[in-house]
Amino acid sequence: MDVMVEGPRAAQVASMMQEREIPFAVAVGDVAVLIDKEQGSSFSTKKTTAMVRMTMDWERYHRLDVIYEFMENLQKEFPFLCAVISIGQSAEGRDIKLLKISNGNPNNTGVWMDGAIHPREWVSISVVTFIADRIVRTFNDQPASVTNKDWYIVPVLNPDGYEYTHTTDRMWRKNRSRYGECVGVDLNRNFSYGWGEKGEEGSSDDPGSIFFRGPKAFSEPETLALKKVILKSGVDFKVFLSFHSYGEVIIFPWGYTSDACPDYVELLEGGTAMAKAIFQESGHTYKVGSTKDLMYYAAGTSIDWSYGVANVPFSYMIELRGKKHRFLLPSEEIVPTARETMNGVLSLLDFVDSRCRGTQSK
Ligand SMILES: [Zn+2]
């Protein structure tokens, strides 16, 4: 677990840990330095930020309004390919916007991509928007495995949490719904499949915990919005990708149990195709395995639900860069991370099409 403490309290916390014989290490000495670096040198004073009118790029991290404007502009520029749809409102009433990319062929299968279900994982948004932008702008040069898909892309699944990481707490993980004195549900523990399994190891029933699963499955408007799109859009989804950071791992179901899922080997192969393409692009080594193999029990996750309930055969959670800076990935690493990930995603689609070809006519 990562804990951030104010500078003057660091020594006090360290001695508390020592007294209780809890092993610990200081991961980042001064987080303020990293935060400055994360946004690049031109962002080191608040004054500069307020005065500059921002438009979308992948040189820095952006606020929600800039990301939503980027989606609307893409629709205006490519009206025959793009549609922006609000799929619901967050707990605080913000729109959750989806970008659909499609050539309108009724035989297309579906690909889902989301970012920022955990809002502090900023680079997930950059990667998802980068891939969307590239696909749209180079659509006619893309292989059939890209153009024969309907792409459903939600760059910011948790808009309230995301804004909160900019205004108040850079390390916020949950959404912003109120439960008594406490705020927020871990949306990636709020899905119905395996919800609440494995007790406190898989999620938490304590509203004060960062892993709070909510009072019941799909108690939150953000998870409910995702569920409705997947189940009601009438598209045959073959791929579900949820982007997170950090750790450089590609993980697949199950998270609620250590048992292998029925398609373990297929999913391992698809994940390996992604990892190989990433390695070829950048030399970064992403590990591949089930949630419990590589990390820990996680019950009520979106990928267990998409695979187990919505029957999306290739469901993955991708933990992006980076190991050293953790959640605070420096802005100059955004483009390399996005490029390697896009390479991975395209490679997965080739793999999926080669596997699904036999069943496509059904
Ligand atoms: Zn995450």
Note the pLDDT tens digit of each residue in 292-342.
888 889 999 999 999 999 999 999 999 999 888 889 999 999 999 999 999
Q: How far is the CA of 183 from the centre of ligand 1 (A)?
A: 18
Q: What is the whole-number distance in angstroms between the Cα of residue 144 and the centre of ligand 1?
A: 31
Residue type, 63: R
Looking at residue 56, its pLDDT comes to 94
User: What is the whole-number distance in angstroms between the Cα of residue 259 and the centre of ligand 1?
Assistant: 22
pLDDT of residue 48: 47
pLDDT of residue 53: 63
pLDDT above 80 for 263: yes
Q: What's the Cα-to-Cα distance from 227 to each of 33, 88, 154, rounded to whole Å?
A: 39, 11, 13
Across the range 107-126, mean pLDDT stands at 98
Which of 62, 76, 71 minimizes the C-alpha distance to 113?
71
Q: Residue 117: phi, psi to the nearest 5? A: -65, -35
Mean pLDDT of the chain: 92
Residue type, 15: S
| Type of residue found at 206 | D
Q: Which of 319, 332, 333, 340 is catalytic?
A: 319
Percent of the chain with pLDDT over 70: 95
Between the CA of 181 and the centroid of ligand 1 the distance, in Å, is 24
Distance 340 CA to ligand 1 centre (A): 19
pLDDT the model gives residue 47: 46
Tokens 């009433």, residue located = 93
Say how far apart CA 5 and CA 28 lie, in whole Å.
11
First-to-last alpha carbon distance for the chain, in angstroms, is 46
pLDDT, tens digit (0-9, with 9 covering 90-100), for 181-208: 999 999 999 999 999 998 888 999 999 9
Residues, CB within 5 angstroms of ligand 1 (ion):
118, 244
In tens, the pLDDT along 57-87 reads: 999 999 999 999 999 999 999 999 999 999 9
319 included as an active-site residue: yes
Question: DSSP secondary-structure letter at 212?
Answer: B
Kindly state the average pLDDT of the residues 94-104: 98
More reliable by pLDDT, 356 or 164: 164
What's the pLDDT at 362? Answer: 39
CATH number for the segment(s) 61-359: 3.40.630.10
Tell me the pLDDT band of 151, cut-offs 50, 70 and 90. very high
Q: What is the pLDDT of residue 25?
A: 81
Give me the residue spans of the domains in the chain: 61-359
